[in-house]
Structure 1
Amino acid sequence: MPIKVAVGMSGGVDSSTTAYLLKKEGYEVIGLTMNIAYSDSIKDAEKIAKYLNIPHFYVDLRKEFEEQIIKYFIDSYKSGYTPNPCTFCNRIIKFGLLLKKAQELGAEYLATGHYVRKVWDEEKKVFLLKRAKDLKKDQSYFLAYLTQEQIEKSLFPLGDLTKNEVRKLAEEIGLFVSDKEESQDICFLPDRDYRKFLSRYLVEKKGKIITEDGVEVGYHDGVFSFTIGQRRGLRVALGKPVYVKKIIPEEGIVVVADREKIFSREVYAKNVNYPSGMPREKELEVKAMIRYNMEPQPALLKILSEKEIYLTFEEPQWAITPGQILVCYKDDYVLCGGVIEEKEN
């Protein structure tokens, strides 16, 4: 009997092509679409499933998404962090609850349209996450918090394809989403207005904008409107551009500094996850990312404890931001991911 695989279908070209490829390879494919946020794409997923002649199911995860991801998003801003909800949604919702639903329906694997490669390390007897063939579309950054068990039960058929190849294939097989525009937004913020979203949950308080030496240079309407490295919207006149260097939410203070002060080489991260296990070495030369869509940069990684790391980049990096995810790579394989925290002295 063919192996049963559930495909997480969003209604986009990537997940639709993933379902086609697996069916072509001989798997028994079913489609699963999460109902978690405000998306009009889920109807497209149903149409694609019908076109491919595969069973399709909706999975209502709105309550869990609200309790786990949206709460994390709000709490992060409340604490002065700039969160990365997609990373934790992948671990908790997509490769957690959706994978569980897939298994309940008899599927052995959950496949997604992520651009990443799953590789078996025969020596270590573990699965590794490797950057995609299409480095411009590589999404391994967002999967750094997956567990080994989750990776084992996952399939990523697009890892060895480029985005252009996927679109061309989708067009050739008649998928109406072949030229569908990609979503660049956080799924629950389709208008990209996170301030408007946060205003439904948090009460903004006016506060001070100060320089590093404590001089008051302006006022703001609420700290949730700011992120590290921000210049626009500061409304301060110092005769030169200044940027947000630090946010102190409990005091309602935003600290600004000159551009060169926003660069840093050192990163401290906690709640670290090793998808393929901790390395034996406590110091390693790696390449690292502090945000998505940046080129991984050379750095020295020091493992302080099972859940703490300290990283020093060879070259200063712009706006290292608490709450964002630090992801370290060794030879294009995901080594670890951690939440960036304020550097401890």
Structure 2
Amino acid sequence: MSGGVDSSVATLALAEAGFDVQGVTLKLFENEDACLAESKTCCSLKDAEDARQVCLEIGVPHYVFNFTKTFNREVIDRFCDGYLGGMTPNPCVDCNRYVKFEALQARRRELGFDYVATGHYARRGYNERTGRYELRCGVDGNKDQSYVLFHLDQDTLEHMLFPLGELTKPQVRAMAAEHGFINADKRESQDICFVPDGDYARFIELRTGSRFEAGEIVDRSGTVLGTHDGLARYTVGQRKGIGVAAPEPLYVYAKDVEGNRLIVDFDRNTLCTRILVRDANFIARARLEEPAALRVKAHYRQAARPATVEQVGETNLVVTFAEPQRACAPGQFAVAYDGDTVVCGGTIERVLA
């Protein structure tokens, strides 16, 4: 329970359905100063108090688990290492994967509970034909979070509940208001919780002691166009803030970490058709026996696009989009769907064409 309205209503729905529910809030920071922007984060002391108050009103116990070491190692360190390596990491996926699911499932087993439940807008199902648990989109298309849950394995899905999967956000807020929850109208977290001011580069500098050096901004032919002030300050697909005058907008195409160069190009030249995906996790199918016509999301806010997905080796995928796509950033995730069901997903390694 983050203290937000979603996890609060998820708790309410389970309690009303007759489950024996215990609310858990995760302590993720050693120092609460990392969460000064309470309106933007999900980790402040006030958020924990909101969760406790909701549990009190529902009539279920509330506990706080200290997962600071896990969060630092699996989320913050991965985030910093990713940016320093020229990637564009998504720490929210890592938080879900290693903290809210992997670590929390381990705690569930230790305590003898049957399920971990969250306020994610997603659905779980079981396919009798394949004998596999499936992850499906939430019915609220505007809030669906199946993309960030592509890493769930069969054992985890067997012991997961998503009480909000069949609900819309307006319905959730209405339920919270009806029960007088103090967070019924609470703003949603939009930024990375450990970087509330949005200055990722400054955070990485302070965290790692690194100092980002200026370097050349070049086009794809190597022509120098200007100077950047540190590669970690840019993301693939970025348009604003490049600082180079051109007859039409320039976009970040790639980052050359070894040469400390930012590679840019015009929009029409930055689109990609084929990407290599590593560390694929398979949910609806154990593997792809042959190339499959699916729909693929290459970043969170993108609608799933038609593509052919081919398994290469045990954990690699080659994704070929039917139409060129923008901002297929290494370090982000590509998730493949068959209708509303997640088939597989993994980390974008590089653009192939």
> Which bin holds the TM-score, normalised by the shorter protein?
over 0.9
Determine whether 1:168 maps to 2:160: no
Residue deviations 1:50-72 (CA, integer Å, cap 9, x gap): 11111111011111111111111
Partner SS for 1:316:
strand
1:206-239 per-residue CA deviation (whole Å, 9 max, x = no partner) reads 1111111111111112111111121222222234
Name the structure 1 match of 2:101.
95
User: Matched residues in 2 for 1:185 and 1:258: separation?
Assistant: 28
1:29 equivalent in alignment to 2:25:
no
Worse-matched range after superposition: 38-47 or 142-151: 38-47
Cα deviation, residue 105, structure 1? 2.8
Q: Would you say 1:61 and 2:67 are equivalent positions?
A: yes
2:328 matches 1:336: no
Matched-pair contact (CA < 8 Å) for 1:90–1:146 = no
Deviation, 1:320, is: 1.1
CA shift digits 1:300-332 (9 cap, x unpaired): 111112211011111111111111000000121
> 1:116, CA displacement in angstroms?
0.4
Deviations 1:247-287 (A, max 9, x none): 01121101111110111221211111113442453210001
Q: Which amino acid aligns with 1:134?
A: D
Residue in 2 that maps onto 1:132: 138
Tell me if the contact between 1:207 and 1:253 (Cα under 8 Å) persists in the aligned partners. Answer: yes
Match of 1:246 among 236, 239, 254: 254
Q: Conserved in 2, the CA contact under 8 Å of 1:274 and 1:335?
A: yes
| Contact 1:303–1:310 under 8 Å retained in 2 | yes
1:304 to 312, 324, 345: 312
SS at match of 1:251: coil
SS state at 1:88 partner: helix
Report the residue type matching 1:151 in the other structure: L
- The 1-side partners of 2:168 and 2:328 are apart by 30
Counterparts of 1:147 and 1:203 in 2: how far apart (Å)?
Answer: 39
Aligned-partner SS, 2:211: coil
Amino acid at match of 1:274: F
8 Å Cα contact 1:291/1:325 also seen in 2: yes
2:298 matched residue in structure 1: 290
Q: Match of 2:187, SS?
A: coil
8 Å CA contact 1:88, 1:145 repeated in 2: no
Tell me what 1:229 maps to. Answer: 237
Could you tell me how far apart the structure 1 residues matched to 2:105 and 2:52 are?
19
Aligned length: 337
* Kept after mapping to 2: 8 A contact 1:82/1:321: yes
Letter in 2 for 1:13: V
SS where residue 92 of structure 1 aligns? helix
**C-alpha separation in 1, matches of 2:343 and 2:26:** 29
Q: Which of 263, 266, 281 is residue 258 of structure 1 equivalent to?
A: 266
Equivalent pair of 2:284/2:341 in contact (CA under 8 Å): no
- Say whether residues 1:208 and 2:216 are aligned partners: yes
Deviation by residue 1:138-177 (Cα, 9 ceiling, x = unmatched): 0000000111111111100110111111111111111111
Percent identity over the alignment? 38
Equivalent residue for 1:47? 53
Q: Is there any run of 5+ residues in structure 2 with no aligned partner, and where?
A: 30-34, 36-42
Aligned equivalents of 1:119 and 1:160: distance in 2? 12
Contact map agreement 1:210 1:255 (CA 8 A) in 2: yes
In structure 1, what residue type is equivalent to 2:19?
Y
Report the 3-state secondary structure (helix = DSSP H, G, I; strand = E; otherwise coil) of the residue aligned with 1:260. helix
Corresponding position of 1:6? none
Shift of 1:181: 0.9
SS of residue matched to 2:232: helix
**5+ residue gaps in structure 1?**
1-8
Q: CA deviation at 1:344?
A: 5.0
1:344/1:319 Cα in 2 relative to 1: closer, same or farther (>3 Å)?
A: closer
Could you tell me the TM-score, scaled by structure 2's length? 0.92
Amino acid at match of 1:107: F
Match of 1:197 among 196, 203, 208: 203
Q: For residue 258 of structure 2, give the secondary structure of its aligned residue in structure 1.
A: helix
Structure 1 stretches of 4+ with a deviation exceeding 3 A read none
The code of the aligned residue for 2:7 comes to S
Give me the CA root mean square deviation.
1.4
